[in-house]
Amino acid sequence: MAGNKMDFSPDSYLAKLYQNNQPELQFDAENRAGWKKWRQKLKAKIADLIGGPLEKTQITELVVIEKREFETYSRVKIAYQVKDYLKIPAYLLIPDRDQDKYPAVIIAHGHGNGNRETLGLNGAGEKLEEATCHNNLALDFVEAGYIVLVPELIGFGERRLKEDYQEDPALKEDPTANSCYRINSQLMLYGQSILRLRLWDIISALKVLENREDVIREQISCLGFSGGAPVAILASLFSEGIKAAVISGYTSYYQDSIMDRRHCLDNYLPGILNTAELPTIISSIAPKPLLIQAAENDHLFPVDSAQKAYREIEKVYKFLNVEDRIRMDIIENAEHSVSAAAAIKFLNNLDEIR
């Protein structure tokens, strides 16, 4: 009928789909044995959703590409071949201190020009005029006495698809250009995901650190920011070698973040909401020490959602009587970003809370 305005939008259908959804593996354990059973089921289901569990990781070759000495640390660009996988470039930062061994941190970077951004470099490897949302994270850690390893996650920087890389090798036209969508869309056709490959990136980085004599094995942590956070979550869940985790700029409910606006395809894992919401997945990191960080004015992962999610995650730590191992840090007056200060303080005090 002329003049009638009818609503054909799918909003109500999608809202009802979320409201009626009952994740299979919500936390409902009544004792520690039940928690172990729940956690094992969740790990198995997530492994299946990302495309299958990883085999044992083996580094078959490691080469030094370049090395630069600075006043308080060394910066080494390395590349290492992972058996049955790919060759991975990474930056290794080593403090220049009079000691034999150091704690270490693996950084899973977010979207941007790849691992360089955490070191204050642009896509061409030159010093940035001003810090990005990564806030020169790796430099703060090495200055604090940590060995830092920042692998380039697949889909970013030098690990873009060849066509994307050749169009703009130094990321001059678009510093955030990546191949996430093209890689993940192809992997999904095989029932796999880019998260599985990025998990392999982090587990391989862990193996590199474990093979070094100057690393304290009992003090290897993982920090994931933004798009690197889901990888850090999985690595902390699946690898015993990672002793503590920092999740920054990501903790929320899916409904409030990646379902609320257009995000990169690398955030989406088919079927995950049938299994668990994001806070439930993060809570499976317990009983490992965990710092949740959120920026006060983050429009991508709202702080209110992060705080609500934190309370849900905290319940599992309290259930296990290890509530002293979880903390939350709010970066005041900041948009989507990460800050090393609280993370360093948290990791420096691990001996007191283990």
Structure tokens at 64: 């030094």
Q: Summarize pLDDT for 154-189 with one digit per residue, the tens.
A: 999 999 999 999 999 999 999 999 999 999 999 999
Q: For residue 342, how far is the Cα from the chain centroid?
A: 17
Whether pLDDT at 348 is above 80: yes
pLDDT top residue among 1 and 197 = 197
Compute the distance between CA of residue 351 and CA of residue 178 in angstroms, rounded to an integer: 39
Give the pLDDT band (50/70/90) at residue 2.
Answer: low
Report the sign of the C-alpha dihedral through residues 281, 282, 283, 286, in that order.
positive
The domain ranges of the chain are 23-353
E strand or H helix at 207, and its extent? helix 194-210
CATH number of this structure's domain 23-353? 3.40.50.1820
Give the pLDDT mean for 50-57. Answer: 88
Q: Where are the beta strands (DSSP E) in 139-286?
A: 147-151, 215-225, 244-248
Q: Above pLDDT 90, what percent of the chain?
A: 95
Average pLDDT of the residues of the chain: 95
Convert the pLDDT of each residue in 190-233 to its tens digit: 999 999 999 999 999 999 999 999 999 999 999 999 999 999 99
Residues 34, 40: Cα–Cα separation, whole Å: 10
Sequence-distant (≥ 6) Cβ neighbours of residue 64 within 8 angstroms: 76, 77, 78
Is the peptide bond prior to 287 cis by the omega test (within 30 degrees of 0)? Answer: yes
Q: Which helix (H) or strand (E) holds 49?
A: helix 32-50
What is the C-alpha separation between 243 and 256, in angstroms, rounded? 29
Q: Which of 269, 264, 79, 234 is nearest to 155 (CA)?
A: 264
pTM recorded for the entire structure: 0.96
Q: Which pLDDT band, with edges at 50, 70 and 90, does 1 fall under? A: very low
Report the alpha-carbon distance of residue 341 to residue 249 in Å, rounded.
15
> pLDDT per residue over 253-305, tens digit each?
999 999 999 999 999 999 999 999 999 999 999 999 999 999 999 999 999 99
194-210 and 229-238 helices, crossing angle to 10°:
60
